[in-house]
A and B are shown apart, each in its own frame.
Chain A
Amino acid sequence: MKKSVNQIVFAAGAMVIWEALALAKFWPPYLFPTPQGVAQSLYEGFKDHSLWIGIGVSLRRVVIGYVISVVLGILLGMVLASNKFLEDTLGRVILSLQSLPSACWVPLALLWFGLSETAIIFVTITGSLLAVTQSTKAGFDNVPRILSMAGRNLGAKGPQMFWHVLLPASLPYLLDGLRQGWAFAWRSLITGEMIYISLGLGQLLMTGRDLNDINLVVAVMALIALLGYIVDGIVFRKLDASIRHKWGMAAAVSS
């Protein structure tokens, strides 16, 4: 209760300061957005459906890219966790690739796939795949030996071991990676969408830049942050809370 009061007070205070700064006109209006201007941009954007379309197109892409990342990342993580040779070789390559920002992958994506949907999804995947891989590997590496022995002892074999013991046992680690992967996918998507006229939110940002419309830029940025936050709150925080409840881990910092 107290927390939401704090949050409301903070938001109101931030708006007042923002408005004051805008009214003070320290910077010319084409460099500094105003609260009204941003609200106006959001209103118009939703009214002419450009924002709705942007959200729809971007969400579709991020979901496709993310699902591919999760499936591939979990498979790759499992392979790395179970094979020492690959861990020492491919594992190191993956670690070093992880330091590349997704913008680095854009030229490669353009050469390979041209100005296409595939190029954007590729860039999205480069952002999240490795995070999921790393956390899956960490999760499988950290499954307590006693749990896998207990599983085998109670008759779990092959795929049963995977589905009923290893996967749930590594879920706390895995969830961290899935969550991080989601944030990375979302970021990389926006990078990818800036490549060309792609209808997504990333492209709307670039449109704002092209039109010198600072209010639109800020409006889209706020929208991107909000969407990422909402999905994190709806999906990941619930999953996290449920795992923590079952495992008896300290309660997560609740929303």
Chain B
Amino acid sequence: MTNYVMDLINRSMGGGRVLSENEEPPKPSRNGNKAVEFAEPGIHPAVRPARKESIALSGVFRSYANSRGSFTPALQNIDLEIEQGEFVCIVGPSGCGKSTLLHLLAGLDRPTTGEVTVDGSPVTGPGTDRILLFQELGLFPWLTVRQNVEFGLKMAGVSKLERRDRARVFLRMVHLSHFEDHYIHQLSGGMKQRVALARSLALGPKILLMDEPFAALDAQTRDMLHDELERIWKETSPTIVFVTHNVREAVRLGDRVLLMSFRPGRIKTQFQIDLRRPRHVEDSDVAYLSKEILGQLREEIDRSFNAEYSREEKR
């Protein structure tokens, strides 16, 4: 019911809308504020994506052995479809399994049960069609900026000359042409972030997985990188799954925002963001939608605090 109210509010704003928990997402539209019919919870409208489906998770569970010898569920019952070229943002409190979800997609981790497929084939390990941008970046300190960008190509056996040319294309794209011979420690935080982006893009991945990539940056740098990321997304049109705890960032960037619940992580609510692009993080539409999502996120954060608090009480 609350979803319905929120949906009405959102529709009256002409912005995004709330999708109920199990509802399939409608076809995302990059511009325009198309009003989409609301579906009653529990009813599954046969909305088929117009574009080709890229990522699908069905019945995915992931749990980890804990120190007490039992299992802590990290992800529970994740059913999710992401279309080719879609920009999906995932928000949720710390410990909701956002990063785990990305690791599953990247093939760096396996689901306990359930299946992750990309373009119809199950994910069994890492692959260069899916590149994960880690929050800590994981740039190689012994390599120069250009060698970092070339790394994946080198592993793939691309010739030296071609590697260099391609690295330069992507370094230009992220405006780092003048820094190709620098070592990583000589760069600022935002520049490092762009190196990591260029390194990921150089492999021409169909899917770009980003784990809170801009969390450690100042607001101005983040703003600029949002613009750059949006531009690059338009130019190279990969599918992007972007994890963040910053709701505004999610609304500013995403075609769709998924809100995850606190442990065990489930997809609690999906929001379709139909705001016109390019957007800005300070836009009033973005702010309004963010507020809605933030309200729900707060509940989850409270739950996570309560869980932590009660655990400490027990000690």
Contacts and interface: CB of A to CB of B under 8 A. Distances in A.
A154 B155 contact: yes
A155 B128 contact: yes
B138 interface: yes
Given A149-B134, A247-B185, A154 B128 contact: yes
B236 interface: no
Interface string A227-251: 0000000000000000101111000
Contacts, number: 68
A149 B108 contact: yes
B141 A248 contact: yes
A248 B186 contact: yes
B168 to A, nearest CB: 18
A147 B138 CA distance: 5
Contacts of A150: 134, 137-140
Given A149-B108, A169-B142, A246-B142, A154 B203 contact: yes
Contacts of B184: 248
Interface in B38-71: none
A164 B139 CA distance: 13
Contact of A171 (B132, B142, B183, B203): B142
Contacts of A83: none
Nearest to B142: A168
Interface string B153-165: 0111000000000
Contacts of B143: 168, 246
Interface in A128-173: 144, 146-147, 149-157, 160, 164-165, 168-169, 171
A153 B140 CA distance: 13
Given A164-B151, A245-B183, A155 B140 contact: no
Interface string B251-295: 000000000000000000000000000000000000000000000
Contact of A248 (B126, B134, B155, B185): B185
A151 to B, nearest CB: 8
A154 B141 contact: no
B199 interface: yes
A155 B138 contact: no
Interface string B126-150: 1110011010111111110000000
B14 interface: no
Interface SS of A by simple majority? helix
B183 A152 contact: no
Nearest to B200: A154
A155 B152 contact: yes
Instruction: Classify chain A: how many residues form its interface, as a range.
Output: 20 to 34
Contacts of A160: 155
Contacts of B131: 153-154
Given A246-B142, A248-B184, A154 B151 contact: yes
B106 interface: yes
A152 B108 contact: yes
Most A Cβ at <10 Å: residue of B108, B138, B151: B138
A169 B141 CA distance: 8
Contacts of B106: 153
A211 to B, nearest CB: 52
A154 B152 contact: yes
Nearest to B156: A155
A160 B132 CA distance: 19
Nearest to B184: A248
A243 B134 CA distance: 24
Contacts of B156: 155
Contacts of A146: 134, 136-138
Given A149-B134, A152-B126, A247-B141, 10 more contacts: A146-B136, A151-B151, A152-B108, A154-B152, A154-B203, A155-B156, A157-B155, A160-B155, A164-B155, A248-B141
Interface of A: 144, 146-147, 149-157, 160, 164-165, 168-169, 171, 243, 245-248
26 contacts: A149-B134, A150-B138, A150-B139, A150-B140, A152-B108, A153-B108, A153-B131, A153-B138, A154-B151, A154-B199, A155-B155, A155-B156, A155-B203, A156-B155, A164-B151, A168-B143, A169-B140, A169-B142, A243-B142, A246-B142, A246-B183, A247-B141, A247-B142, A247-B183, A247-B185, A248-B184
